[in-house]
A and B are shown apart, each in its own frame.
Chain A
Amino acid sequence: MSDPSTIAEPTAVAPAAPGVPRRRRRGSGGRGLVITGAVMLVVMLLVVALGPLIAPYPAAQTSPESLAGPSAAHWLGTDSIGRDVLSRMIIGGRSTLLITVVAVALALLAGLVLGLLAGYLGGVVDQVIMRVLDVLFAFPAFLLAIAVVAALGPTIPNLILTIAVVYTPRLARVVRGPVLSVKRWDHVEAARSVGVGEFTLVRRHVLPMVISPILVETSLTLSRTIFTVTALSFLGLGPPPPDPNWGGELSSSRQFMELAPMNVIAPAAAIVFATLTFIVLANGLREMLDVTGRR
């Protein structure tokens, strides 16, 4: 998937000439985007969390009206064996979002630990960790995910673990950067020389620097994960039935797509909505927190 992080933060044409200040305005448009993204996120989470309670029909309930268009009874129509599309979308979001959130949380944790270790300890530890991560970086994330999931078997824990491993390197890198620069700050050196404990140093100086880029990168990772999870389930490597999931629904809708276009549009819209939520959040956070992009 095209990397959304390169969107708002392009690589520089020319490093700013000496004496010419780089123009960066903090905050103005960012807040609006963050609010929008947050609202979208809350709506999505609510709908999905309340899933079975608000879905008009059980996801697995079939009916004789198959491939029906939108109607009062079925707002988004029905699929090939008469199941309500709207309900399947609502319920389907659960596994998708569950895998996404948990996987990214794990990746975040691992990334924080590795990044802090690499950045803080520096030297050999840093080199080793970074080289190992570089190796992981050499694989297109999706390729790696497919290979592992296809072979290990597409269970939810496997999916979560694979995705977490795939996205850890990037998060580790994002953490490492600020850590490396903060380490060299004069007042950190000064504090250290007076005997301030390392842990306190990390907590008070390093972590605040790291939080902003981490927030942005995590949002981006969430959007990429949605892509990976839905793509995997599209290929049949997602959470196994009977639970519906967006990617799988999109794939199976292809069979009778001309007869029931809504079967295609519904999961497509759901996937786009989820991805958009995190991208909007990421861009808003980036503008608001004045985070400079990589390279």
Chain B
Amino acid sequence: MRRVVLVRLAWAVPILVGVSLVAFLLVRALPGDFAQQLAGTAPGATPEVLQEMRHNLGLDQPIWVQYWDWLTHALRGDLGTSFTTQRPVTSELFGRLGVTAELTFIAAIMAMLLGVTTGLLSARLRGRVDWAVRGLNGFLVAVPNFVVATLIVLLVGLYLPQLSIFSYTPLTTDPLANIGSLLLPALSLALAISATISENTRAAVLEVSSQDFVMVARAKGLRPRTVLGQYLVRNALTPVITVTGLEYAALLGGSIVIESIFNIPGMGQLLFDSVTSRDYPVIQGIVLLVALIVVLVNVAVDVAYARVDARVSYE
């Protein structure tokens, strides 16, 4: 068991190195650099000035030197300084990360609540309920999150104009308003994913229902509540949790657009801005961080899955 974890983590390392390389090269390979971007806006940006700027930022070093420099600093937790704001990248990211994390977390919870409930109902009640839920799921999965978001904004604008949905409030200012302002964005993210979770829950519950140990539980005369909770759901939930973990990457990706629609100051917005201004350290930092999160989540999912497997299959 421990071996599985270690092996997975061991594999994660070269992957992360590769990720850092890609993040770095990707950004450097792009046409135009920071100095040039600035040249477009600032007067008096003569070639000599630009060259000096490049020298100051270390952009005239050979690319391998730049990479090594960045990597070694990154491993120590120093992701460099933002070209635009002159603040450490890590502090730029930190604040934004919290916002995006909160958004995706709320979305994940919503998706699970919605998905598990409908999936469970669908599997236990069958008949028309099952048909309706599955139909709805099939549809929801085809609606991209930004389309959902735009439609939500439209509906609110038409029927609930008094509701202000573009006003993000930081957690520290007013926790309740903060969560309130994140509800609709989180819902946009959550709907499509809840459909996936719903289908998975349904299939898992159906599969578990036909397992012998559920029959044994009934033969023991246990109360339906106990059979449902301890025998059915507890076994059906494990694949659901692993699926949710896998979907997390989608949540992160989706948050980029959602943040832009609802004006939420998260990493997505930061990414967008820094790409436009060619702020390399920030872009690299974001890409690296997001990839890191995804890799870690995938490792966690693998581990969780291995645990379930170990329990269920007898070695």
Contact = CB atoms under 8 A, between A and B. Distances in A.
Quick check: do A and B touch in the complex, using CB within 8 A?
yes
Interface of A: 1-4, 6-8, 10-15, 17, 131-132, 134-136, 138-143, 146-148, 150-153, 223, 227, 230-231, 234-235, 250, 253-254, 257-258, 261, 264-265, 268, 271-272, 275-276, 279-280, 283, 295
Contacts of A132: 18
Contact of B15 (A12, A138, A272, A280): A138
A14 B151 contact: no
The residue in A8, A132, A135, A141 that gathers the most chain B C-beta atoms within 10 A of its C-beta is A135
A227 B235 contact: no
Interface in B155-192: 157-158, 161, 192
Given A14-B211, A140-B290, A150-B276, A3 B147 contact: no
30 contacts: A1-B145, A4-B141, A4-B142, A6-B199, A7-B138, A10-B204, A11-B200, A11-B305, A12-B207, A13-B208, A13-B211, A14-B207, A131-B15, A132-B18, A138-B291, A139-B287, A140-B253, A141-B253, A142-B256, A143-B256, A150-B272, A151-B30, A227-B144, A257-B150, A258-B154, A258-B158, A261-B158, A265-B154, A271-B144, A280-B138
Nearest to A14: B312
B295 A138 contact: yes
A14 B26 CA distance: 41
B221 interface: no
Given A11-B242, A235-B272, A279-B141, A143 B290 contact: yes
Interface residues of B, number: 74
A264 B252 contact: no
Given A136-B22, A271-B147, 7 more contacts: A4-B196, A8-B199, A11-B243, A147-B287, A258-B161, A275-B142, A275-B144
The residue in B192, B242, B291, B313 that gathers the most chain A C-beta atoms within 10 A of its C-beta is B291
Contacts of B146: 230-231, 234, 250
A2 B207 contact: no
A11 B137 CA distance: 17
Nearest to B252: A140
A34 to B, nearest CB: 14
Contacts of B150: 250, 253-254, 257, 264, 268
A95 to B, nearest CB: 17
B236 A257 contact: no
Shortest beta-carbon contacts, A-B, top 3: A140-B253, A135-B18, A142-B253
Interface string B280-315: 000100010011001100100000010011001100
B31 A151 contact: yes
Contacts of A138: 15-16, 18-19, 291, 294-295, 298
The residue in B138, B142, B199, B253 that gathers the most chain A C-beta atoms within 10 A of its C-beta is B142
A139 B291 contact: yes
Contact of A2 (B195, B204, B252, B291): B195
A223 B298 CA distance: 23
B139 interface: yes
B89 interface: no
A280 B138 CA distance: 8
B31 A152 contact: yes
Contacts of A136: 22
B257 A235 contact: yes
Given A2-B247, A234-B146, A135 B19 contact: yes
B193 interface: yes
A140 B196 CA distance: 18
Contacts of B291: 138-139
B26 A279 contact: no
Interface in B14-52: 14-16, 18-19, 21-22, 26-27, 30-32
A261 B153 CA distance: 11
Given A231-B146, A275-B143, A15 B312 contact: yes
Nearest to B155: A261
B254 A6 contact: no
A143 B253 contact: yes
B21 to A, nearest CB: 8
Nearest to B313: A15
